[in-house]
Amino acid sequence: MKRKLLRVGFCMFLTIVILFCYEHFQPEHKPAFAFAQEQKSICLTFDDGPSDSTTPFILDTLKEENVQATFFIIGRQAELRPALIERIYQNGHAIGIHSYSHEYAKIYASPAALLQDIKKCSAVLESILGLETDLYRFPGGSYSLREELLTCVRDAGYRYVDWNASCRDAELPGATAEDLFRAAIDTPADRNHIVMLLHDSAHRKNTAEALKMIVRYYKQKGYVFKTL
């Protein structure tokens, strides 16, 4: 009888020890930062400038909103407006090569013609700013281009960047600032990392007007503004 009581007592003791160990020493399954939010980012990119009628207004808005952007420059427009290129640079924005002539038939005729166009644009920027850039954007984007054109640009040491969202200012004739703003918030489709295409070429008054709404919207959504 005494031995039976001892055995029951021992079993109860063992159960308590097991329960205690389970409670206190089980492995921690929840990673400490499981619910940490990924930082969302947006790069605003302006192609086809600089222009007297649009670029200054875009620079004013970016300054007022204290955000930086990236400008892909057309060489033959830049050489007539060196002060605008300097202003873009002094305001802390990134500058990339877009094209010297932006004439598709000419620049996409062959890899050699493409490189010649890129180098001509690069030389204009270098003569104004005194520095070289390896940042490049294909006119029209790289999406439908022949592989030999992509290869020659990579082999020459340039890094090219396309886009994954757009305010569609080059596609929607007669679009109002409100239309461009709508496109700029619809086309990213909830991406956490956005590279947005906009234009600061001549007569893009509505792009300049939509910009403030676009910047404020993405600020409010928690995006940080980055350059390329």
d(CA 66, CA 61): 8
Provide the minimum distance between the beta carbon of 102 and Zn ion in the complex, in angstroms, as a whole number. Answer: 6
Q: Pattern 41-80, binding to Zn ion, x per CB under 5 A?
A: ------xx--------------------------------
Tell me which residue has tokens 């932006």. 102
From residue 62, alpha-carbon distances to 41, 128, 216 in Å are 16, 22, 11
Task: Single out the segment in contact with Zn ion by CB under 5 A; choices: 40-48, 54-62, 114-122, 218-226.
Answer: 40-48
Q: Pattern 110-129, binding to Zn ion, x per CB under 5 A?
A: --------------------
- Quick one: 139 or 188, whose CB is closer to Zn ion? 139
- HEC sequence for 38-73: CCCEEEEEEEEECCCCCHHHHHHHHHHCCCCCEEEE
| N-terminal to C-terminal alpha carbon distance within the chain | 83
Residue 96 interacts with Zn ion (CB under 5 A)? Answer: no
Provide the minimum distance between the beta carbon of 110 and Zn ion in the complex, in angstroms, as a whole number. Answer: 20
Name the site residues for Zn ion (rule: CB under 5 A): 47-48, 139
